[in-house]
């Protein structure tokens, strides 16, 4: 059978970087082709070439058996190649129907159409048909800003279908979804397969790759290093090809004898969080599990002073404290690595060194309040070594670092402040398997050194393996506390979904 999409010998060079080096790639109608590799392996560059964002330097692209030149993203969509990016390309203040037909609005008939009047009713009718194809019960006249991330993804898929897409590229489509939403997305992917559409599925979550993919293509350092069916593939084989070394134990959790209580939260409440109480001990990794919308992130934002609380109190080392802002939290020895590292954790256009300096500005000031740049450089270079950050220098803008290395910069920024308590919200979201293993090792080392960690994660294997205890949230409340030795995925999910566990 002829592949619907085939690339041969694709290469792309950026200044000082060979992003792709003679890569071959194929996708067939009615199949899911998974594209995997570490951050910086070339996946995004290949996707951007196929979606018309970048021009290739050399090589050939064939679509439906014919050699093609993809001029720009709109040309790619008209041709039948649609891309759903990790950062969803929606306009929140417009309706679902307006988003689906953005730039291709259906005009009224006759003179009204000539004058530019839009046929709102017809757009909503067609949008409803497209949404039904992906099993989405979303009103076409609903504003996109009122939708969940999962619903917005379905709108993007419906938009792709409106272009009569024959190939849909999904870049990290599950990174912001909870388990139930992932299952819904996988059902939609199966439906798209049955309709003869080729899916290119990019994910760092290998357990998802092995569930959904028919074939797997592996890139490393811009080169094609592996190409196999799901039946031929094993996790160890795929990981070895991705990182060119055995990864060892993915979850390097060392057992630590917990110390005295360091943080006590009593009856903390907000509009979302409802009367939450718990204790965190010195040297402990406390996991917080729950479905999307359960209040996990809102809880830690309250503790960090990023959102106002309605009631409740917080004690650190037995003393009641007032945390009304992140600045208060930092002074008390609390750091927060947010779930959205690019928008909330980093200033992308600043250097690695400048980002690390943000939390320690008072420590690096010298005479007349000038920054001691030599001291800041020395501190930054020390973290580059300690956390194995891959960067040309500490003066490199974090914008140009891979996702895993960006996450290590956020960690470095907070470790430089010498925190007693470190809150990690989705610490390994969107990063490759090698970087995940390194961050898990860092977490374990930090706990061993006496730092107390609160970890939120939507990845159940991570929660089970890295936590000393697990708090489970549902509808803004803590509904269970599960010791490490008693925790199972089934038990945690039953509590998280509101079911009673016997």
Q: Catalogue all structural domains in the chain, each as residue range(s) with its CATH number.
A: 5-243 (3.40.50.300), 248-333+420-502 (3.40.50.300), 341-418 (no CATH)
Q: Using alpha carbons, list the distances in angstroms from residue 27 to 44, 106, 402.
A: 16, 32, 26
- What's residue 248's pLDDT? 54
Rounded to whole angstroms, the Cα distance separating 395 from 377 reads: 9
- Asked whether the predicted pLDDT for residue 128 surpasses 80, the reply is yes
Mean pLDDT of 211-234: 92
Which is nearest to 274 in space by CA: 321, 322, 310?
310
Torsion of CA 291, 297, 298, 300, to 10 degrees: 130
- What's residue 395's pLDDT? 93
In order, the DSSP letters of 106-165 are PBPSTHHHHTT-B-HHHHHHHHHHHHHHTT----TTSBGGGS-HHHHHHHHHHHHHHTT-
The phi and psi torsions of 454 (rounded to 5 degrees) equal -105, 120
Rounded to whole angstroms, the Cα distance separating 98 from 295 reads: 31
Rounded to whole angstroms, the Cα distance separating 69 from 63 reads: 10
The three-state secondary structure class of 76 is helix
Beta bridge partners of 143: 95
Which is nearest to 409 in space by CA: 392, 394, 426?
394
- What's residue 355's pLDDT? 94
- What's residue 500's pLDDT? 57
- What's residue 247's pLDDT? 54
- Asked whether the predicted pLDDT for residue 251 surpasses 70, the reply is no
- What's residue 309's pLDDT? 92
- Asked whether the predicted pLDDT for residue 119 surpasses 60, the reply is yes
> Which helix (DSSP H) or strand (DSSP E) does residue 220 occupy?
strand 215-220
The three-state secondary structure class of 234 is coil
The three-state secondary structure class of 261 is strand
Work out the angle at residue 259's Cα, subtended by the Cα atoms of residues 256 and 265, and round it to the nearest 5 degrees: 115
The three-state secondary structure class of 398 is helix
- What's residue 151's pLDDT? 86
- Asked whether the predicted pLDDT for residue 315 surpasses 60, the reply is yes
Beta bridge partners of 454: 286, 423
Rounded to whole angstroms, the Cα distance separating 42 from 401 reads: 13
- What's residue 114's pLDDT? 66
254 Cβ contact list (under 8 Å, min separation 6): 444, 445, 447, 448
More confident residue, 112 or 159: 159
- As a whole-number percent, the residues of the chain with pLDDT over 90 amount to 48
- Asked whether the predicted pLDDT for residue 328 surpasses 90, the reply is yes
In order, the DSSP letters of 269-310 are E-SS--SEEEEEETT-EEEEE--TTSSHHHHHHHHHTSS--S
- Asked whether the predicted pLDDT for residue 502 surpasses 50, the reply is no
- Asked whether the predicted pLDDT for residue 433 surpasses 80, the reply is no
The three-state secondary structure class of 191 is helix
- Asked whether the predicted pLDDT for residue 80 surpasses 90, the reply is yes
Rounded to whole angstroms, the Cα distance separating 198 from 4 reads: 8
Q: Is 115 exposed, middle or buried (0-12, 13-18, 19+ CB in 10 A)?
A: exposed
- What's residue 154's pLDDT? 87
H helices of 27-135, in order, are: 43-50, 73-79, 96-100, 111-114, 120-133
- What's residue 23's pLDDT? 95
Rounded to whole angstroms, the Cα distance separating 7 from 67 reads: 9
State the average pLDDT for the chain.
88
- What's residue 252's pLDDT? 63
Beta strands at 261-269 and 311-316: parallel, antiparallel or unpaired: antiparallel
More confident residue, 268 or 367: 268
Would you state the structure tokens that stand for residue 492, as one six-digit string?
A: 């945690």
Which is nearest to 381 in space by CA: 409, 406, 420?
409
- Asked whether the predicted pLDDT for residue 403 surpasses 80, the reply is no
More confident residue, 246 or 224: 224
Q: Sign of dihedral through CA atoms 13, 17, 22, 27? A: negative
Residue with tokens 């509904």: 479
- What's residue 249's pLDDT? 54
Q: Which of 123-132, 246-255, 480-489 has the lowest mean pLDDT?
A: 246-255
- What's residue 246's pLDDT? 60
Q: Using alpha carbons, list the distances in angstroms from residue 500 to 287, 401, 474, 491, 493.
A: 20, 44, 12, 9, 10
Mean pLDDT of 124-144: 89
């Amino acid at each position: 059978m002829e592949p619907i999409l085939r690339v041969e010998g694709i290469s792309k060079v950026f200044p000082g970087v060979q992003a792709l080096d003679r890569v071959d790639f194929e996708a067939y109608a009615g199949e899911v082709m998974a594209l995997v590799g570490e951050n910086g392996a070339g996946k995004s560059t290949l996707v951007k070439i196929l979606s018309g964002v970048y021009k290739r330097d050399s090589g050939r692209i064939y679509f439906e058996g014919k050699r093609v030149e993809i001029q720009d993203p709109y040309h790619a969509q008209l041709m039948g190649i649609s891309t759903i990016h990790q950062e969803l390309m929606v306009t929140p203040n417009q309706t679902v129907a307006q988003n689906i037909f953005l730039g291709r609005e259906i005009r009224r008939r006759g003179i009204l159409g000539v004058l530019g009047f839009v046929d709102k009713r017809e757009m909503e009718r067609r949008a409803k048909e497209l949404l039904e194809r992906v099993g989405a019960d979303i009103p076409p006249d609903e504003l996109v800003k009122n939708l969940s991330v999962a619903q917005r993804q379905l709108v993007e898929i419906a938009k792709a279908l409106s272009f009569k897409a024959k190939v849909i590229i999904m870049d990290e489509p599950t990174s912001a979804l909870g388990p139930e939403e992932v299952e819904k997305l996988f059902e939609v992917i199966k439906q798209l397969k049955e309709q003869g559409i080729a899916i290119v599925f990019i994910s760092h979550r290998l357990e998802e790759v092995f569930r959904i993919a028919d074939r797997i293509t592996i890139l490393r350092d811009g080169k094609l290093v592996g190409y196999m069916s799901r039946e031929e593939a094993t996790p160890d084989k795929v990981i070895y090809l991705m990182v060119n070394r055995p990864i060892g134990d993915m979850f390097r959790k060392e057992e630590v004898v917990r110390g005295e209580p360091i943080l006590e939260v009593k009856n903390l409440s907000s509009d979302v969080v409802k009367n939450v109480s718990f204790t965190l001990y010195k040297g402990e990794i406390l996991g917080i599990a729950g479905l999307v919308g359960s209040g996990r992130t809102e809880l830690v934002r309250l503790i960090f002073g990023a959102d106002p609380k309605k009631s409740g109190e917080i004690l650190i080392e037995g003393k009641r404290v007032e945390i009304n802002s992140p600045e208060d939290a930092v002074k008390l020895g609390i750091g927060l690595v947010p779930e959205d590292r690019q928008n909330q954790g980093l200033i992308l256009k600043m250097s690695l060194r400048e980002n690390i300096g943000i939390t320690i500005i008072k420590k690096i000031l010298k005479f007349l309040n000038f920054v001691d740049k030599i001291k800041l450089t020395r501190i930054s270079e020390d973290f580059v070594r300690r956390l194995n950050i891959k960067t040309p220098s500490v003066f490199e803008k974090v914008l140009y670092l891979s996702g895993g290395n960006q996450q290590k910069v956020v960690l470095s920024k907070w470790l430089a402040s010498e925190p007693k308590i470190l809150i990690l919200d989705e610490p390994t979201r969107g990063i490759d398997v090698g970087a995940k293993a390194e961050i898990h090792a860092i977490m374990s080392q930090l706990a061993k050194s006496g730092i107390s960690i609160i970890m939120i994660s939507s990845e159940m294997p991570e929660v089970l393996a890295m936590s000393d205890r697990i708090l489970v949230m549902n509808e803004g409340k803590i509904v269970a506390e599960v010791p490490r030795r008693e925790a199972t995925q089934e038990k945690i999910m039953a509590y998280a979904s509101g079911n009673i566990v016997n």
